[in-house]
Amino acid sequence: MCCGTTCTIYQRVPSEISMASISNAFVQRKRIARKSKKESATRNEPSTSATDFATKKDHDVLKQFDLTLEYGPCIGISRLDRWERAEKHGLNPPSEVKDLVTSHASDPLYTECLWNDYTTLR
């Protein structure tokens, strides 16, 4: 039964449709068991090998060198050039930075400053 006006938005379900026929229209599927958050977290953990730790430590040292304003600006100049300029002016830059840069001379992650990818800063 309708309220007397035309129902445009809601239409009544005919009474002859039973709940069984509605349930048959929407077939239930068995859900695949999901992994718990603990299982997925342990699987995606980064490796903690000695080389990964050393690389992270190296990058932390270089990042700290880039962020220390005492050694002058770092944009538009390589880390080795900046280190040599700081040494020339008696600012005593860390020798570890020079060792890292010279030992990885072909890797731009070691030779260029932290802001090298930001071309608008140059």
Helices (H) and strands (E) in the chain, counts: 6, 0
Looking at the whole model, is its pTM more than 0.85?
no
How would you write the pLDDT of the chain (122 residues) with one tens digit per residue? 556 555 555 555 555 556 666 667 767 777 777 766 666 555 555 555 666 777 899 999 999 999 999 999 888 899 999 999 999 999 999 999 999 999 999 998 899 998 887 767 65
Q: 53-75 b/e with 16+ CB inside 10 Å = b?
A: eeeeebeeebeebbeeeebeebe
Q: What is the pLDDT of residue 49?
A: 64
